[in-house]
Amino acid sequence: MPRFRAAFLDRDGTLNVEIQYLHRVQDFEWIPGAVESVRRLNEAGVLVLVVTNQAGIAHGKYTERDVHALHDHMRRELEEHGAHVDRFYFCPFHPEGVIPEYRRASRCRKPNAGMLEQGMSDWELGPDECVMVGDKNSDVEAGLSLGVQTVLVETGYGAEHSKTTRANRVVADIVAATDLILSP
């Protein structure tokens, strides 16, 4: 039985190559080993919950529809490899946004823990059953604020953030994070 029931995974820089304001399917690229990592988590019975800040919506760079289309693309590609994400959570808000309905502070915007709290509620999870994996200290802080174990990957912004992180562990990438999650 795996050590954790759920892995909260950041999206950009953790599962896919970091591209600022990524929203077009044609620009999407998996980080090497990410698809296999998701499949391994699925096979071990670990819930895969993606939690991603999407401030580009508030900044008028793209829409919620674009985010859903990108997540649908990810689902299709994962399904081709026998893998899946159990649920995607995203936060469209930013206090400096240009789109009025999205211009506000929000508990869902990491480093706040709203998306993790929602996932823990939706799936009836305790903090000791969860791990948060991401490439930014905002991902780490969201997890730490709830007592969730945290792993910083050095892909995306991770190499830079590793110098100042409070993460429980720092690893090279999602493959190494998956190895850690699945270790006894």
Does the pLDDT of residue 2 top 80, yes or no?
no
Listed residue (7, 17, 21, 149) closest to 83, CA to CA: 7
Is residue 173 among the annotated active site residues? Answer: no
Task: Give percent above pLDDT 70 in the chain.
Answer: 99
First to last CA, the chain: 8
Catalytic residue, chosen from 12, 66, 139, 173, is 12
Does the pLDDT of residue 48 top 70, yes or no?
yes
What does the pLDDT read at residue 101?
97
What does the pLDDT read at residue 1?
62
Q: What is each CA distance from 53 to 9, 57, 116, in whole angstroms?
A: 12, 10, 12
Is residue 139 among the annotated active site residues? Answer: no
Is this structure's pTM higher than 0.85? yes
Catalytic residue, chosen from 10, 66, 135, 173, is 10
- Neighbour count for residue 43 (Cβ, 10 Å): 12
Specify the residue for token string 């730490």: 144
Question: What average pLDDT does range 83-93 have in this prediction?
Answer: 98
Does the pLDDT of residue 18 top 90, yes or no?
yes
